[in-house]
Structure 1
Amino acid sequence: MELNSADLSTILNRLLDTAADNLRVAKILVQLGLDPNNITYDALFNRLLEIVLANITLANMFALVGAIFFVATLLMQTMVPLRIANMAGCSFFATFGALSGNVGTFLLYLLMVPINAVRLRQMLRLVRKARDAAQGDMSMEWLKPFMTERKYRRGDRLFKKGDAATEMFLTVTGRFLVKEINVELPPGRLMGELGFLTPNNRRTGTVECIDDGQVLTITYDRLLELYFQNPQFGYYFLILTSRRLLENIERLEKAVVQQNAGPQVTAASDVP
């Protein structure tokens, strides 16, 4: 056991000595073609310049430009320009592999170009769909095949505030009233979508049917699947809920203003 340890220690010492010897400045200068005993800055600069000029080939130029594009990808913060720069870098490296006769390098980077192109196309489609959802009025017709029909009569309560929320509704016919804010929901309106985003999935209001009508329902589990499968719907859903919250805030602000203005009007009417 001690003999094996001694042999291992000897081998490691020899390896370290060899590595140190190869890293000596004098040996590096000799490998560069310089005299260690007569070295000047001009001689060192001229020798490095000669090495650079000797290696300037068309293949190496393509490799240099490809390396610049790959470094650029490390500095980019968004995916679209990163994919474009990566495609450019792969194209230059593939050309380098072809000109230098390196088949492995050529095939590797050649295959990476269409992969990045497909990902870039998917990203651009996602951006375009998100922009359309933000600027336009997205139809909910495509959602109806995933929903279940349900009918309500006047006086029926769909849900009340604080109940556990498990599904979202789309009004088709009839009229429905949100009691807390006294707002009627006409056909074509979503309701119950805020419960999908609230903690513990609780209802934020009470909805009753004030005129016989029909609705379509979809469970939150199914809605969650569609949310991740269709980025356009997911983005639209976020915009829809944000608008609904902003409407509620605006309605609350108006109510506060009217409440504050009420006593002033009453006081003014008492003046003879």
Structure 2
Amino acid sequence: MPSGSADISSILDRILDAATDNLRIAKILVQMGLDPDNVTYDAIFNRMLEIFVHNITLANLFATVGAGFFVATLLMRTMVPLRVANMIGCAFFAIFGALSANVATFLLYLLMLPINALRLRQMLKLVKKARHAAEGDMSIEWLKPFMTERKYRRGDTLFKLGDPAKEMLLTVTGKFLVKEINVEIGPGALMGELGFLTPDNRRTGTIQCIEDGQVLTITYDRLLEIYFQDPQFGYYFLVLTSQRLLQNIDRLQKQLATERAATTNRTA
């Protein structure tokens, strides 16, 4: 036998001998059914294998598979496969709870299944709509499940130019006015999305309610979370904001053209 292997073996034997001299470790060995005065690596291995085989049950097999899927969720970078793996893990743990007559475990993981299914459905809708963005579908109906409702009355100011921006809004009913450019916004329009892209997250205009209405809001933190969960949504959002910027540019160009025409007429 090579001297290196012999040295390692002797070191491990000394470590094992020293461990068995410890009263706490000796007590653990006795509880495991081992003799502290005659402990070998083969004896420990055989005893661990015996314990493992003795505890193999159908319920524990389901729990082991479920634990494997839960560990797999920690390695996943995107939400769709993570939700799928989580649902499978919950199903296995629910079966484990049923087979082991553990009502609390059974109910816990059984209730987690529809919650994960709902979130998965929402995420799949998001992915589908994000893909449609490349084809020109500019609807943002898919974003509504992630938003919260808020109501405004006539005369209310939603936010002012330069205010800190923390959320994006979608109009549902009512009318709103962008005061700086005197443009009315009706139902189905986004407001405050450009603040998400500005370096210091500041409002780029003042919005006032001119007719009682309802809006849906989503915080930039939630928007950022969705943005990074699915890169396609990032593209979708950029298309939306680019469209708004192009509309603003077109509006300014028409305004400049009108002012130039008026100046030309005055000087003619």
TM-score calculated relative to the size of structure 2: 0.50
Structure 1 residues 200 and 155, CA, compared in 2 at 3 Å: closer, same or farther? same
Residue 232 of structure 1 aligns to which amino acid in structure 2?
Q
Aligned ranges 1:62-211 → 2 under 5 Å: 132-211=132-211
Residue 159 of structure 1 aligns to which amino acid in structure 2?
F
TM-aligned CA deviation for residue 128 of structure 1: 9.0
Does the 8 Å CA contact 2:163/2:202 hold for their aligned counterparts?
Answer: yes
**1:173-230 deviation per Cα after TM superposition (whole angstroms, max 9, x unaligned):** 0011111111111111111000000011000001000100000111100110011113
Does the 8 Å CA contact 1:129/1:232 hold for their aligned counterparts?
Answer: no
Q: Which structure is larger by alpha-carbon Rg, 1 or 2? A: 1
Does the 8 Å CA contact 2:166/2:219 hold for their aligned counterparts?
Answer: yes
Corresponding residue for 2:122? none
Structure 1 residues 256 and 232, CA, compared in 2 at 3 Å: closer, same or farther? same
CA distance in 1, matches of 2:264, 2:144: 50
Residue 179 of structure 1 aligns to which amino acid in structure 2?
K
Question: Unpaired segments of 5 or more residues in structure 2?
Answer: 1-126
SS in 2 for 1:145: helix
TM-aligned CA deviation for residue 146 of structure 1: 1.4
Structure 1 residues 129 and 215, CA, compared in 2 at 3 Å: closer, same or farther? closer
Q: Report whether the alignment pairs 1:244 with 2:250.
A: no
TM-aligned CA deviation for residue 266 of structure 1: 2.2
CA distance in 2, matches of 1:128, 1:143: 12
TM-aligned CA deviation for residue 140 of structure 1: 2.0
CA distance in 1, matches of 2:137, 2:184: 21
Structure 1 residues 144 and 131, CA, compared in 2 at 3 Å: closer, same or farther? closer
CA distance in 1, matches of 2:139, 2:243: 16
TM-aligned CA deviation for residue 251 of structure 1: 1.1
CA distance in 1, matches of 2:208, 2:173: 14
CA distance in 2, matches of 1:128, 1:174: 29
Does the 8 Å CA contact 2:138/2:240 hold for their aligned counterparts?
Answer: no
Residue 230 of structure 1 aligns to which amino acid in structure 2?
D
CA distance in 2, matches of 1:263, 1:193: 35
Structure 1 residues 201 and 229, CA, compared in 2 at 3 Å: closer, same or farther? same
CA distance in 2, matches of 1:129, 1:163: 31
**1:77-118 deviation per Cα after TM superposition (whole angstroms, max 9, x unaligned):** xxxxxxxxxxxxxxxxxxxxxxxxxxxxxxxxxxxxxxxxxx
CA distance in 1, matches of 2:215, 2:130: 27
Moved more, 235-244 or 135-144: 135-144
CA distance in 1, matches of 2:263, 2:242: 33
Residue 132 of structure 1 aligns to which amino acid in structure 2?
H
Does the 8 Å CA contact 2:176/2:186 hold for their aligned counterparts?
Answer: yes
Corresponding residue for 2:264? 264
SS in 2 for 1:135: coil
Question: Unpaired segments of 5 or more residues in structure 1?
Answer: 1-126
Residue 210 of structure 2 aligns to which amino acid in structure 1?
I
Does the 8 Å CA contact 2:129/2:142 hold for their aligned counterparts?
Answer: no
TM-aligned CA deviation for residue 135 of structure 1: 1.7
TM-aligned CA deviation for residue 231 of structure 1: 2.8
SS in 1 for 2:200: helix
Does the 8 Å CA contact 2:149/2:215 hold for their aligned counterparts?
Answer: yes
CA distance in 1, matches of 2:144, 2:151: 15
Residue 137 of structure 2 aligns to which amino acid in structure 1?
D
TM-aligned CA deviation for residue 136 of structure 1: 2.6
Does the 8 Å CA contact 1:167/1:218 hold for their aligned counterparts?
Answer: yes
Corresponding residue for 1:55? none
TM-aligned CA deviation for residue 264 of structure 1: 1.7
Q: Using the aligned pairs only, state the percent identity.
A: 75
